[in-house]
Amino acid sequence: MKQFILLLAVTCFTITVIAQNVGIGTNAPQYPFTVYSRLIGISQQSGTINPVAIGFWTDSANGAAYLQTHTKNNLLFATNNSTAQMVLDTLGRVGIGSGSPAAKLDVGGKTIIRDTLRLTYGIPGEGKVLTSDGTGNAMWQTRNNGLRAEVDAFTDVPSGVLTPFPVITTADVTRCFDDANAYNNNTLVWTCPATGVYLVSGQVTWSFRVAFSGFKEFEVYALTNGSEAFSNYANFQNLGGINQQSQSFQFVLKATKSSIVEVFLRHNAGVNAAIYGGIYSFLNFTKIY
């Protein structure tokens, strides 16, 4: 009996009832049930060996209030007394329709976005397009990853010698460009910036200064990772004097990221043939998709 009276007395000192509002830790409860406590105030627990606890945490000094688990357990959300429909795991990852989220937000089901979606990953910029890698990770990329390079000056191509097409992206600042910085002006090699299908086109304007008899074969030859990807042939003759002949070419190239593409020239005229520079000899790469 004495123990009961003592318990009742302690309870009266800690719980205050005013006008049917119950207060714990306060003499002036403003709501039907008010707990006044800094940090953890209310905690519901289960178990003793590996306890699970949930409750509230408040701190007016820092303007913070939390609904949280007080043990190292996921925080689950549900309606209609059902199983978990949303989870916040101990690593701060949110799963909706996914009980084991693998990212900051992991949604298992259809998603509707009713306003602007802003994605800042991958250096966004005007005119860029959203693409993905092989695992579905999205990123911004330049629309076409395009390239235009030109021959800067007259260049001799010896007969019978496979010679790199000497185009560079710095030949003219108004016409030449390299969106993806994929072309090496020193090695004359293009490195595929993104997996896709590309249209490769160009023109070689040959300048003949020495006569040669009969028609001779002039070739544009492309390699991808060391294997033949394309070849284009034209037959020209020079009966005397200085003259030019143009050879246009184009082909579709399916390339994977980091593939190496090299374009070469070759002829069997028996004499040196020069390449006319500027807008007359050029190489383009355009990403189709």
Instruction: Show pLDDT as tens, one digit a residue, over the chain (289 residues).
Output: 444 444 444 444 456 666 689 999 888 998 998 898 888 988 999 998 899 999 998 998 889 999 999 999 999 999 999 999 999 999 999 999 999 999 999 999 999 999 998 888 878 887 778 878 778 888 887 666 789 999 998 899 999 999 999 999 999 989 999 988 999 999 999 999 988 899 999 999 999 988 888 999 999 999 999 999 999 999 999 877 788 999 999 999 999 999 999 999 999 999 999 999 989 999 999 988 8
DSSP one-letter code for 14: H
The alpha carbons of the chain give a radius of gyration, in whole angstroms, of 37
Strand partners, 205: 246
Residue range 147-287 in CATH 3.40.50.300: no
**Chain centroid to CA 46:** 45
* Single-letter amino acid, residue 183: Y
> Any idea how long the chain is?
289
Question: Other C-beta atoms within 10 Å of 202: how many?
Answer: 23
Residue type, 33: F
pLDDT given at position 246 = 95
Long-range CB pairs of 9-15, under 8 A, 24+ apart, other chains included: none
Q: Residue 6: what pLDDT?
A: 41
Is 278 exposed, middle or buried (CB count within 10 Å of its CB: 0-12, 13-18, 19+)? middle
Within 10 angstroms of residue 204's Cβ, the number of other Cβ atoms is: 28
Angle (nearest 5°) at CA 149 between 144 and 152: 165
Quote the pLDDT of residue 17: 66
Take residue 175 and report the two structure tokens written for it. Answer: 């016409």
Class of residue 14 by CB neighbours under 10 A (exposed 0-12, middle 13-18, buried 19+): exposed
Q: Provide the residue ranges of all domains of the chain, joining segments of one domain with +.
A: 76-108, 147-287
C-alpha–C-alpha distance, residues 166 and 282, integer Å? 9
pLDDT of residue 119: 86
The reported pLDDT for the residue numbered 14 is 59
pLDDT value at residue 238:
87
